[in-house]
Amino acid sequence: MPQKYTTVGGVATLIHHRGPTTLPGTPPDTSRGSTILCLHDAGGNGNQFAALMDALAADHSPVAYDQPGHGRSGGLDALESVDAMAGQLHELASGWGVSAPVLVANGSLGAAVALQAAAANPGWVKALVLVGGATDSADIEADIAQLAAITSGKARREFDRSGYAPDTDRSVYQRAFGDWVKTDPRATLGARRAQAAWSLGSAPDVPTLIVVGEHEDAATAEPAKTLAARLPKAAVETLAGAGRHGIVEQPEALAAMITAFLAANAGAGNGKG
Amino acid sequence: MSIAGRFAIAGVYEHPSRFSPDKSEFQIMAECAKGALDDAGLQLSDVDGLFAASMTMGAMGIIDLAEYLNLKPNYLDGTNIGGSSFVAHVIHASAAINAGLCDVALVLYGSTAASSSMAIGTGGRGGAGPAESFISPYGMTTVGSYALYAQLHMNRYGTTSEQLAEIAVAARYHASMNPNAKMRQPITVDDVMSSRVISTPLHLLDCCIISDGGGAVIVTSLERARDLRKKPVIVLGAGEAAVHQEIGSPDLLTIAAKQSGAKAFGRAGLTPAEMDFAMLYDSFTITVLATLENLGFCQPGEGGDFVSGGRIKLGGELPLNLDGGGLSSNHPGMRGIFLVIEATKQLRGEGDVRQVQGARLACVHGTGGTIGDKHSGATLILGVE
């Protein structure tokens, strides 16, 4: 999996991409199909999209990155707000000359950053795909309290095995654990706090696909429909065989769903399709 | 001829990063070298003595480092005695300059301990001594050995966990004034006491953090240092020591600082009571308490009372670890170089909001290895004109 560092806002930011490797200082190759920028959740990192990127790479140019404090990017802490995270995404992509990207977001923070980036930069984003508990913020205060206990040494850090489809293969958990452990919980806490302080202002006028896992908890599946109703061009589809971790549970099926969605919305937005 | 009072630290640099997954150890060292040379007003071509150690440099790593820096030094020293190595390097550099073997010594350290996910305190102790086969199979860890030391100290003298926590609280207070520190949120004794136990009686907040980082120190003659950019920080006294298992009958509470400190203070002609502040290796809170007693800042058994009541905070009688130490600022595995760097900044008056006002004399002590077991100690007494 080609990786490279680029500096965004003074932070060494790790980029994951597909296609040929490029020299330092040279953007990754985004000549195939749509440029698909993958946004991870709080505590996640770009490597979580590895299998999905493999599945998308034949037709498109997928790129993922690790937010500050996450994965293998520099910095101790998460960016202070969702607005700052969206700004970082825009700075990262526009620095490469990427126009009309498709944003594929995982989890509730990824969705918040994607929606904010689309709302703050009208006409820039071609389409949004929100995967994996995109509206899963019901327990965010409890999550923050638990992370605060962990980062102050009062609780142990434990891998969360919830939200996966029944009979998920052990190898999926192993890969997920390997990526989860890369991020310091203080960065996860900061990202969650930023998310808790954020709310969607004007709804972006962008074709949006909200993906709900077949086995996803109803507590998050129902709000997905509410979110879809609020967005002017949104649809909800169900990903078979997945919980709320579709990017690692069913990457090939998800890639096919994204490709079909983009084909059906080929005229959306500006720039290359 | 004694080195006391004739050699000086002319430049220092601490790498600001605490997490650098995009850098290698050598890259961190190179950036630190540039920073320290800029600080001193020197160029890489002025360096003719190279001193370095790291968590991963092998037996010939110093040669690899010279190649990386494109240096052709006249003197190389890859001494690795654990975290105290860089305090010892300052001593060795002074001795080498004294012997005419080099003129400008560059001391370097770099580490990616955090981004390489090294388990430093909770991992095995390593070592290859004959006694290892009787210890390692039972799962002894680094933190376990320090915890046993703390238990013995508590049993013998009545030292309490709350007293150890005072050391962590003071370190965090100082870190709160260090914009580069990894942990800057002030804490209380209760916070330390309620953090989870790692190895009884040591809580999580009794233990150092793990970070990336690095540093560099330039040592030269006092005469030359006076012509450079910054105020020289003079090596007034120095000592080194090792403590080992003594054929099975050690006094566990006597650490290397007792021997190295006595030499350093004796050579400087000074006493602990004359120090304005101290930079003491703080892998764990108990390390600081043990070091204070063994250096003679207080008597054996008095460490618990000594660290209480604000004495070791900025504004107290003996401020300790003003950068926040390994407990809160940074600990990339071997942090002795940061003791020298912060002491130098303080003695130059560059401590910013955490400056010890009027500081002229400092004690620096590095510990390498594991107290309660085999370890090294290196002590410097530093001062300014």
pLDDT tens digits, B114-123: 998 887 777 7
Model ipTM value: 0.86
* Tokens representing residue B48 in the block: 């003719």
Q: Give the nearest partner residue to B195 out of A73, A75, A152, using CB atoms.
A: A152
Class of domain B7-117+209-383: alpha beta
Calculate the alpha carbon distances from A165 to A80, A105, A178, B306 in Å: 33, 19, 19, 57
pLDDT, tens digit, 9 for 90 and up, residues A12-34: 999 999 999 888 888 899 999 99
Q: What is the DSSP string of B220-284?
A: EEHHHHTTSSS--EEEEEEEEEEE--GGG---TT--THHHHHHHHHHHHT--GGG-SEEEE--SB
Looking at chain B, the whole-number percentage of residues with pLDDT higher than 70 is 97
Query: What does the pLDDT read at residue A136?
Result: 59
Which whole number is the average pLDDT over B133-158?
A: 90
| Assessment of whether the complete model's pTM goes beyond 0.90 | yes
Query: What does the pLDDT read at residue B251?
Result: 86
Pairwise CA distance, residues B134 & B271, whole Å: 40
The alpha carbon of residue A8 is apart from the nearest alpha carbon of chain B, in Å, by 13
Residue identified by tokens 């020591």 is B241
Going from N- to C-terminal start, the domains of chain A cover 3-264
Residue B209 φ then ψ, to 5°: -80, 175
Q: Cβ separation of B21 and A75 shorter than 8 Å?
A: no
Q: Which residues of A touch B21 (CB under 8 A)?
A: 12, 14, 72-74
pLDDT, tens digit, 9 for 90 and up, residues A121-131: 999 999 999 99
pLDDT, tens digit, 9 for 90 and up, residues B282-311: 999 999 999 999 999 999 999 999 999 999
Residue identified by tokens 């190759």 is A29
Classify the C-alpha dihedral B44-B45-B46-B50 as positive or negative: positive
Q: Cβ separation of B21 and A72 shorter than 8 Å?
A: yes
Residue B337 pLDDT > 90: yes
Q: Cβ separation of A152 and B182 shorter than 8 Å?
A: no
Residue B224 pLDDT > 70: yes
Residue to substitute from B194, B196, B198, B209, interface A, most A β-carbons within 10 A: B196
Taking phi over 0 as left and psi of -120 to 50 as alpha, with beta for the rest, B309 belongs to left
B49-52 and B75-77: which strand pairing? parallel
Q: Give the nearest partner residue to B195 out of A73, A74, A154, using CB atoms.
A: A154
Q: Which of residues 153-182 of B touch A (CB under 8 A)?
A: 182
Classify the C-alpha dihedral A5-A8-A13-A19 as positive or negative: negative
CATH superfamily of A3-264: Alpha/Beta hydrolase fold, catalytic domain (3.40.50.1820)
Residue B383 pLDDT > 70: yes
B328 contacts chain A (CB < 8 A)? no
User: Strand, coil or helix: what is B56?
Assistant: coil
A127-131 and A102-106: which strand pairing? parallel
Q: Which of residues 73-112 of A touch B (CB under 8 A)?
A: 73-76
Q: Which of residues 150-169 of A touch B (CB under 8 A)?
A: 152-156
B16 contacts chain A (CB < 8 A)? no
Q: Give the nearest partner residue to A74 out of B20, B182, B196, using CB atoms.
A: B20
